[in-house]
Amino acid sequence: MRFWSPQQKYLLKVLNVTSCMRKSQVLPLLRRQFDISPNAIAPICRQLRDAGYLREFDGIISAVGPHYEPFIPQALDLIFAILPRETLLFHRESHTALYALGEQSGLLVRVFYISQKQDLFALPDKEEVATQKSVLTVLLLDDAAQAAYIPPHFSCLVAYPDHTGKLTLQQHGGGKQHET
C-alpha cells in the first residue's frame, strides 16, 4: 500500500472528476490548496505515473481509465481565470460539462462544451436559469459562428478559440470581449 502526500491525493481527486488537465495547470491547482513549490510538481506527477495512477502525453496528464474529453483543459483555463485564487470543488454531470464551485465566494461556474448547434437545445430553459443565484454559465464553442444559435433569453459567457487557438471570452448578447 502506498502512502500519498496530501497534494497527490488532491490531484488524484480532481483527476477523478476532470479526467485530464495540462501539466502546466497542476501548479495553479495545487497552489490554491497548498503552499507548494513549482519544483514539487515533477516528482508528484512522476510518482503517480510510475505507480500507474496517471499517464502523461504531449503536455496532458490524465487519470488512468476511460479516455478524456479534449475540451477539459480549456474549461479549466476558463475556471482558473474566473476564480483566480479560490480553492475549487469540481463536479461533472455529463461528458460535455464541468462544474467548479469557488469555496470562498460560493460562485458556481458551469462550463458547457458545445460542439455543434444541435447541442444548444440541451441548455437549461429560462425558468431554471432565473432561479439560480451565484451561478455563471460559460458556453465553450468550437467556432464563434455558433453563438448565433444561442437563445436570446440565455444569459451566459461565450468562449471560442480564435485562429491562433487563444480563447476569446464574450458576454452573450454583446458586451466587451476579453482574451484569456
Domains of the chain, residue spans = 1-67, 69-180
Q: Kindly state the average pLDDT of the residues 113-137.
A: 63
Write the single-letter amino acid at 32: R
CATH class of 1-67: mainly alpha
Kindly compute the dihedral angle of the four CA atoms of residues 61, 65, 67, 73, in this order, to the nearest 10 degrees. -30
CA distance 31 to 22: 15
Q: What beta strand segments (E) does 12-132 contain?
A: 20-22, 54-57, 60-63, 88-91, 97-102, 108-114
Residue 145 binned pLDDT confidence (cut-offs 50, 70, 90): confident
For 7, other C-beta atoms within 10 Å of its C-beta total 18
- By mean pLDDT, which of 57-66, 86-95, 121-130 is the weakest? 121-130
73-82, 93-102, 161-170, range with the lowest pLDDT: 161-170
- What is the Cα–Cα distance from 93 to 17, expressed in whole angstroms? 10
Which pTM value belongs to this model?
A: 0.83
pLDDT classification of 180: cutoffs 50, 70, 90: very low
